[in-house]
Amino acid sequence: MRAGRLLTMVLLLQSREQVSARELAERLEVSQRTVQRDVEELLAAGVPVRSVRGPAGGYRLDGYRSKFAGLSPAEAEAVSFLGLAGPAAALGLGDVLGGVRLKVRAGLSPEGRERSDQVSARFHLDTDRWFGTAEPAPALAALARAVWEDQRVRVRHAGREGERERVLDPLGLVLKGEWYLLARRDGELRTYRVSRLREVEVLAEPARRPEGFDLRAAWAEHLARAEAARERVEAVVRAREEVLPGLRRVASASAQDAVPVVADGLARDGLGRVEVTVVFDSERWAVMALLGFGAAVEVLAPPWLRAEVAATAAATARLYEEPPSA
């Protein structure tokens, strides 16, 4: 425990020109008095830690570079997540990733550390969706370990048919807004949203992993199948120019490029509206999405969609004609 703390202290001092006693204490989760004792022990071991007094004081290393910045096996696993702190924490690798970052930074030259700081200051990867958070996925860490160790799992899955217990051979995890598990069940490849897995029990038996399984290719095939199976609804609408970006966002992913974000070159009616075609993934979503634009969008075709939007809007208006009942 103490040896690991001393190593972390050296790496912190090696990665920065100077670190205050207070910051060292916070990073190491000890008291400042313990920091002083650790510094004394490092000095006794020949590590040239210099104390700088004064309000801007702290500790620094004088021309010393450690020889033990190698990664542990767990830290080596976490290297791939260096730019994905949020997902790494969700997989249970948050603390390990912190150690990786510290060791990588300690091994850089001063110029390399400066360039690394510039990258961090200019680029940031945020995998969370806009205006919302993903559903809780408490089983994710256990699934990640089962995937890594090739262990079977017993899960309780909440699907359209209610909760069912399944025994799965987990093959891989994919982050696409939310986490998805690719697994074999009864010899067939299946995909599960991790947030729908209520319970996960890692079994003491190896998973049956197909030889040469390619997670990237399997996920691409799943996306292609899902895209092909989607119900398509093509709607012709008149819309105000300012809502065109919104229409593009609610359209089917494969058809968003067909929805313009500006009305340049398009014919306008007497109210300044333009006519565009929007493809939706289902009838229900088409009605819900179009109603969300209110009077800024008018459905022209197909007739059944225009009638459905009108009927739903009328029912909504009637609901609000009277004050809410007690």
Encode pLDDT of 1-54 as tens digits.
566 677 777 777 777 778 888 888 888 888 888 888 888 888 777 778 888 887
In a domain, 198, yes or no: yes
List helix spans (H) across 48-160: 73-78, 85-90, 94-106, 110-122, 140-149
Give CA–CA dist 297/291, Å, rounded. 8
| Residues 224, 263 within the same domain | no
Q: Please tell me whether residues 237 and 217 are part of one structural domain.
A: no
Q: Of 176, 198, 228, which closes a domain? A: 228
Q: CA-CA distance, 203 to 205, in Å (whole number)?
A: 6
The reply to whether 252 and 294 lie within a common domain is yes
Where does a domain end: 210, 228, 246? 228
What pLDDT does 295 receive? 92
Tell me if 172 is assigned to some domain: yes
Please check whether residue 22 lies inside any domain of the structure: yes
Nearest to 264 by CA among 241, 236, 238, 247: 241
**171 in Cβ contact with 147 (< 8 Å):** yes
Question: Are the C-beta atoms of 272 and 294 separated by less than 8 Å?
Answer: no
Q: Rounded to the nearest 5 degrees, what angle is found at the Cα of 230, between the Cα atoms of 224 and 231? A: 155
Residue 96 lies in a domain: yes
Same domain, 103 and 165: no
Contact 156/198 with Cβ under 8 angstroms? yes
Q: Could you give the number of structural domains in the chain?
A: 4
Helix axes 94-106, 2-15, angle to 10 degrees: 50
- pLDDT at position 159 is 73
Q: Which residues of the chain have pLDDT under 50?
A: 69, 76-80
User: What are the C-alpha distances in Å from 33 to residues 14, 18, 56, 136?
Assistant: 21, 18, 18, 40
Contact 205, 271 (CB under 8 A): no
Q: Could you tell me the residue range of the domain that residue 96 belongs to?
A: 73-122
The answer to whether residue 36 sits within a structural domain is: yes
Same-domain check for residues 214 and 244: no
Angle at 120 between CA 115 and CA 122, to 5 degrees: 95
Task: Pick the closest to residue 43 from 23, 60, 30, 55 (CA basis).
Answer: 60
pLDDT at 80: 47
153 and 201 inside one domain: yes
> Is residue 187 domain-shared with residue 216, that is, in the same domain?
yes
The pair of three-digit structure tokens given for residue 245, joined into one six-digit string: 């970006």
